[in-house]
Amino acid sequence: MVDMTSTAGPMRKPFVLRYPSVAIFLIILALFTATITVLGEGFGIGLISTSFIKTLGKTLCLCLAALAMDLVWGYTGILSLGHMAFFGIGGYAIGMWLMYARTEIIVIESLASSALPPTAQEISDGIATQIFGVVGASEFPPIWAVAHSLPLQLAAVVLVPGLLALVFGWLAFRSRVTGVYLSILTQAMTLALSLYLFQNDSGLRGNNGLSGLQNVPGLDLVPQSTVSILFFWASALALGLGYLVCAWMVSGKFGSVIRAIRDDESRVRFLGYSVEAYKLFIFTFTAVICGIAGALYYPQAGIINPAEIAPIASIYLAVWVAIGGRGRLYGAVIGAAFVSLLSTWFTGGQAPDISLGFYTIQWVDWWTILLGLSFVAVTLFAPRGIGGLIDRFAERRAPDRHGADLGPDLGSLREKEADE
């Protein structure tokens, strides 16, 4: 819904005024945030439960990850099946500090009754035993060297996913690996990381993962109803800023180049553009966005384990973007929010079972099948996804191609069609 044409002249309007769809999205997000705050238990009248506010906060984080997926896939044409790995890394990075700081408080309180004041080494040993006793260890692994420092762990939220994506992308793109082969490589990376984290000697408690992340140090006396609202605000702010930055990126020349790479990579390279540099930047930038989204998601979820990084999670992310309408930022957000909330409804036991006499459909078991069928149906019959319905509502017309197939396949977005 963003017009890709640039406005020249000395008196250029602010970005959000030149692209009304961006302003509309931000206004809707602000109104939604204010409404939930008023209806919530933390600062409002209590019509919405704390658990549901956490669900909405997590949904906003997933929308931010879908935004990144749309930028790398819908706009640049890189079908990454590993971006939820970056999401999980961000969660682990902030989770290490949350678990360390929370355990430190517990250990210090337990040692306060000792005859002699505990030494720093005794406190450190107590924290290590408390955290890693579940996997039969009592010492901190090297990766926990800075877990006590919030600023350093926040830096890790950005730097670790970014560096991993930078190294992986440089190796892949310099070899000009494209298409399904690149997708397989990203999936293999995610699988390898997930299998490694399942090991007890990985330093991250293996299958047990990191737990108790909802207990934020320094906010012990603050009720969870208030903490949930604070994280909900942070998630909404991150989504709004992420949408604004992504919309700005795709609205100018940079956006035109990455869409051209998606549609005809060889021609863009022939024109003198460094295709690999553009792809590497997008891949790394979107990995950082996913890391930030994960860092906001898991304190609201309360726990993270290696299953969260399994390849199926990244496949789900691609499905959300496809259902919402790839190549449209608002479509990615709508798809992630719609499918995530619907999944919560079906798998949470709220959807009534359907009795057919000879068989009872239990949605907890059938939801994934329904999601897969929806993805196939959207791919075959509605490649523009839910975002295409918004285009129709806005009376948008597709470009006249005179029968020319301008995309890499029949389901891809065409010239000037992905205009946000």
Q: What is the pLDDT of residues 221-272, one digit of tens each?
A: 889 899 999 999 999 999 999 999 999 999 889 999 999 999 999 999 999 9
- Does pLDDT of 397 surpass 60? no
**CA distance linking residue 74 with residue 272, whole number of Å:** 23
In a domain, 411, yes or no: no
Q: What is the pLDDT of residue 135?
A: 86
**Mean pLDDT in residue range 382-395:** 72
Tally of domains within the chain: 1
Pair 242, 289: CB distance under 8 Å = yes
**CA distance linking residue 52 with residue 50, whole number of Å:** 5
Q: What is the pLDDT of residues 94-121, one digit of tens each?
A: 999 999 999 999 898 888 877 778 888 8
Q: What is the pLDDT of residue 261?
A: 94
Count of C-beta atoms within a 10 Å radius of residue 233:
17
In a domain, 408, yes or no: no
Per the prediction, the chain carries an average pLDDT of 86
pLDDT band at 4 (very low <50, low <70, confident <90, very high): very low
In a domain, 417, yes or no: no
**CA distance linking residue 22 with residue 420, whole number of Å:** 9
Which range of residues forms the domain containing residue 211? 17-397
In a domain, 412, yes or no: no
In a domain, 403, yes or no: no
Secondary structure (3-state) at 76: coil
Q: What is the pLDDT of residue 395?
A: 56
Q: What is the pLDDT of residues 147-157, one digit of tens each?
A: 999 999 999 99
In a domain, 5, yes or no: no
**CA distance linking residue 119 with residue 78, whole number of Å:** 53
**CA distance linking residue 15 with residue 250, whole number of Å:** 12
Write out the two tokens for 37: 């705050």
Dihedral sign (CA 94, 99, 104, 109): positive
**CA distance linking residue 228 with residue 298, whole number of Å:** 12
In a domain, 419, yes or no: no
In a domain, 315, yes or no: yes
Tokens 């309360």, located at residue:
302
**CA distance linking residue 132 with residue 206, whole number of Å:** 10
Q: What is the pLDDT of residue 401?
A: 43
